[in-house]
Structure 1
Amino acid sequence: MFSLRSDMGIDLGTASVLVYVKNKGIVLQEPSVVAIDKNTDQILAVGEEARQMIGRTPGNIIAIRPLKDGVISDYNITEKMIKHFISKAVGRFLFKPRIIICVPSGVTGVEKRAVIEASMQAGAKKTYLIEEPIAAAIGAGIDITQPDGNMVIDMGGGTTDIAVISLGGIVVSASIKLAGDKMDEAIVKYMRRKHNMLIGERTAEDMKVKIGTAYPREKEITMDIRGRDLVTGLPKTMKVSSDEMLIALEETVTAIAEAVHSVLEQTPPELAADISDKGMIMTGGTSLLYGMDKLIKKRTGIDVLIAEEAISCVAKGTGQSLDSMDLLEKQMSTESKSY
């Protein structure tokens, strides 16, 4: 595959990376995982292939996530990962692409520069940044240019971004490092504390997706879990219920609901009235956790709607911003930079 130039939007998430190519839509969605040989520093696998290796590698191979809590924790690996995904998405290109990357609303100037530099080193001609709540709102089909209040809750792997948007900008926002990854950790801790059982990161994620719950279910469901018994040291299988997941996740989901409440408290009254009429929009993969919308509605008294294709909203919004660069200049969390 060979193209002149393919401008693209990248949702550089803690859990997964989505790439949107102009005029093509979302062309790639893979986990943000890289497998490396420690002895040679050689990258062995990126994306889904690397995710399959988590918890199953020999001593000389490590499967790592180069982004943590929504920001770059390993610059060199992130640069190589972005380069790999750009190449996989568009192949070779004659002219370097312009790239828009979304970042959490609470990132610092240093963290923003790290994202821009990693993108430029990976082959971008220009790199723009857009804040995740803005991208999520655009991807969810909200006209953010109107003088109406819209509230977006974007729940990813590393961060939950909550923002009130009006006239193309963020009026009030909060970015907390509580999202899907912290829920996985809470499940691992619960299984260790309650059942003396050690489970892996992937097993915890499966439990969250299949039986995880933030609000009591009408009907309890169960799942067979395999792990290691910490008393005997031997493999063990046991049945875990959704009611137990409610207990395991309670602290994390309650903290997220409190953060939403806190943003509402800071919202100007006219915009709060708009939000009360229209409801809030939830995006991101973690918004699909059963009962998360019900919990936030109970805490705030305001309707909560889960966006269609919630997982890809941020990537779609980032990509759609390619069609309106002038509007993006106003929305960007930092001045556009090119090197």
Structure 2
Amino acid sequence: IEESLAAAIGAGLPITQPTGFMVLDIGGGTTEVAVLSLGALAYSSSVRVGGDKFDEAIASHIRRRHNLMIGEATAERIKHELGAASRPTDGEEVHLHVRGRDLMDGIPKEIVISQSEVADALTDLVAQIIDAVMKTLEQMVPELAADIVEQGIVMTGGGSLLLRLDEVLSRATGLPVIVAEAPLMCVALGAGRALEDDAFIGVLSTG
């Protein structure tokens, strides 16, 4: 079964109906944009942007801005605690103490970084995700486009948990954006349900 189909089923979308749905699945390595209807993929594309790239962008930013080398685990912690698709708009900045190795003298060092700084580090990657969605919207036939306007975009995968990504995507597209319940589990749940439910036999045979 295609991952996008599994994600849609796991998100609870009635994909076998004659209605168009758009799923944005942001995984660790890639982001999949898919339009589904009648239990099949009407259109899909992918970009090599995901949670791992978020981590790399954060580590690279801190290395350039603060001359500080941090490990993968630290970059992931920063993503989970400060990661955001846009700067805070309410004036309530969030900060985090980060430890690493100073690239100038090689000794351990602690710095304080802000959520705004992390959001800036992720700007290019967020823009790539939005661009992939916009290109997909431009490719759709009018009937499916009308369905997406009504149904909105459903986000799945760990990357969908990036703070304010749904808001940024909604502003860019003018469409409602919904984060699926338990987005990390959607693909696994959907694959399991597809195997157990006879309603998805066609999905399995074509996927």
Q: Give the structure-2-normalised TM-score.
A: 0.95
Show the 5 A alignment for 1:63-212: 130-212=1-83
Q: Which runs of 4+ in 1 moved over 4 A?
A: none
Shift of 1:322: 1.0
2:206 matched to which residue of 1?
Answer: 331
Shift of 1:131: 1.1
Distance 1:220 1:170 in 2: 41
Q: Which of the numbers 237, 250, 253 marks the counterpart of 2:110?
A: 237
Overall identity of the aligned pairs, in % = 48
1:116 matched to which residue of 2?
Answer: none
Task: Confirm or deny that 1:308 pairs with 2:181.
Answer: yes
Deviations 1:18-53 (A, max 9, x none): xxxxxxxxxxxxxxxxxxxxxxxxxxxxxxxxxxxx
Deviations 1:110-132 (A, max 9, x none): xxxxxxxxxxxxxxxxxxxx111
Shift of 1:295: 1.2
Q: Which of the numbers 111, 131, 134 marks the counterpart of 1:261?
A: 134
Higher strand proportion, which one? 1
SS of the residue 2:9 aligns to: helix
SS of the residue 2:122 aligns to: helix
The amino acid across from 2:153 in the alignment is M
Distance 1:213 1:257 in 2: 14
Shift of 1:331: 3.5
- Check conservation: 2:86, 2:116, Cα contact below 8 A: no
Deviations 1:69-89 (A, max 9, x none): xxxxxxxxxxxxxxxxxxxxx
The amino acid across from 2:103 in the alignment is L
Deviations 1:197-224 (A, max 9, x none): 0001111011011101102223210111
The amino acid across from 1:254 in the alignment is A
- Check conservation: 2:40, 2:203, Cα contact below 8 A: no
Distance 1:330 1:259 in 2: 28
The amino acid across from 1:329 in the alignment is L
Q: Which of the numbers 151, 170, 191 marks the counterpart of 1:297?
A: 170
Show the 5 A alignment for 1:268-287: 268-287=141-160
- Check conservation: 2:23, 2:154, Cα contact below 8 A: yes
Indicate the structure (1 or 2) with the bigger Cα radius of gyration: 1
- Check conservation: 1:169, 1:331, Cα contact below 8 A: yes
Shift of 1:328: 3.5
Task: Confirm or deny that 1:228 pairs with 2:101.
Answer: yes
Higher helix proportion, which one? 2
The amino acid across from 1:176 in the alignment is V
Structure 2 unaligned blocks of 5 or more: none
SS of the residue 1:161 aligns to: strand
- Check conservation: 1:134, 1:331, Cα contact below 8 A: no
- Check conservation: 2:39, 2:203, Cα contact below 8 A: no
Distance 2:133 2:151 in 1: 16
- Check conservation: 2:97, 2:113, Cα contact below 8 A: yes
- RMSD over aligned CA atoms reads 1.0
Q: Give the structure-1-normalised TM-score.
A: 0.59
